[in-house]
Amino acid sequence: MRTIEWKNGIVTTIDQTKLPNQTVSLKMKSCSGVAKAIKSMQIRGAPLLGAAAAYGLALTAHYSKARDKEQLIEELVAASRVLKRTRPTAVNLFWAVERVVEKAKETEGEAVAVAEAVVKEAVKIAAEDVEMNRRIGEHGSAVINNGDTVLTHCNAGSLATVDYGTALGVIRAAWKKGIDISVIATETRPLLQGSRLTAYELLRDGIPVTLVTDSMVGYVMSKGLVDKVVVGADRITKDAVVNKIGTYTIAVLAHEHKIPFHVAAPKSTFDLNRSAKDVVVEERSVDEIVKFRGVQVAPEGVSAFNPAFDLTPMKYVTSIICEEGILSSETFQKLSTED
């Protein structure tokens, strides 16, 4: 299922905050509209954030009245700043924004020609994401055996990408190959991406899925119900995987139960010049914890802590599955020293 698309100056996506109860399409005509959708998590998922940000700049370029290239670049840089302020953790957004601005800078000609190149680059980023996901799925399906139950966290599916998915791409590719696979999906508090999005995608594809609360991971592992863990990533530094809050908890449990822990992510998620300590972990509103759809579930005035991501050191990671193949965490770490 295609999650985001460009057509004649309109970017169409699905409002992920409304799923699975309603399928509402969201049409955006400005970069600030894209930024707003990212901030409110109508659009989420690291690879999708990359494509959406690129499309945001494409909208800026498409509707620009800039007289010359220089003025257009200024507008793109200003729009980039707005996009970069939306969410600090996923690196794909920064990567895509820089790639598009770079493209604009290196394109010769009038504002119109540069704007066209920007739109083309955004469309290319989205198309590449689909292709990268297919390759990740193809490579990753090799780690799945017949009869495996795979535990996944949050949503690293079609809805987190332009199409197909990273962790769910691996699961889909295995399923398509005829491998008998079933999935345990954690509900993923506070925003329930597991219940709302992952379960929705897998059910639609006919892949067997069972929901559990995040707290049940230890129990299902201790009962021998999990053969593999496959998750996505928002950023992979040289020493850690940054992903949805709860990933580290699952990684430690997998390690304790000797269950392989795989991370599926495109290379645009790699941030090899940085280490865990450089990563800004976004803290979101406590209302996500103390309220549920506006209804107070904790006493008024209670404190809460709401980091959106956590960091999993490489010692807990079995492999990183990217478009180029399966890298053991040792190989990955060598890669980062060479880089």
The C-alpha atoms of residue 333 and residue 339 are separated, in whole angstroms, by: 10
Estimate to the nearest angstrom the gap between the alpha carbon of 56 and the chain centroid. 17
41 versus 212: smaller Cβ distance to a copy of itself: 212
Kindly state the smallest distance separating residue 246's Cβ from a copy of itself, in Å.
Answer: 3
Residue 1 interacts with a copy of itself (CB under 8 A): yes or no = no
Find the binder of a copy of itself among 179, 212, 272, 326 (CB under 8 A).
212
Q: Interface with a copy of itself includes 213 (CB under 8 A)?
A: yes
* Coil, helix or strand at residue 329: helix
Do residues 114 and 147 lie in contact, with contact meaning Cβ atoms separated by under 8 Å?
no
In three state form, how does the secondary structure of 93-152 look? HHHHHHHHHHHHHHCCCCHHHHHHHHHHHHHHHHHHHHHHHHHHHHHHHHHCCCCCEEEE
* Closest C-alpha among 58, 259, 41 to residue 155: 41
Counting every residue, how long is the chain?
Answer: 339
230-259 residues near a copy of itself, rule: CB under 8 A: 245-246, 248-249, 251-253, 255-256
Q: How far is the CB of 252 from a copy of itself (least distance, A)?
A: 5
Which among 85-93, 105-113, 122-130, 286-294 is the span making contact with a copy of itself, rule CB under 8 A? 286-294
Residue with token string 């390690």: 255
Among 186, 237, 268, 318, binds a copy of itself (CB under 8 A): 186
Residue 49 near residue 40 (C-beta atoms within 8 A): no
Catalytic one of 234, 239, 271, 310: 234
**Strand, coil or helix: 78:** helix
Choosing from 209, 230, 259, 317, the residue that interacts with a copy of itself (CB under 8 A) is 209
Asked if 285 is part of the footprint of a copy of itself (rule: CB under 8 A), the reply reads no
Interface with a copy of itself, residue 219, by CB under 8 A: yes
Catalytic residue list contains 234: yes
Query: Residue 195 interacts with a copy of itself (CB under 8 A)?
Result: yes
Total residues binding a copy of itself (CB under 8 A): 56
75: phi > 0 → left, psi -120 to 50 → alpha, else beta; which? Answer: alpha
Taking CB under 8 A as the rule, does residue 290 contact a copy of itself? Answer: yes
Name the residues annotated as catalytic.
234
Residues that bind a copy of itself (CB under 8 A): 20-21, 184, 186-190, 192, 195-196, 199-200, 203, 208-220, 222, 245-246, 248-249, 251-253, 255-256, 286, 289-290, 292-293, 295-299, 301-307, 310-311
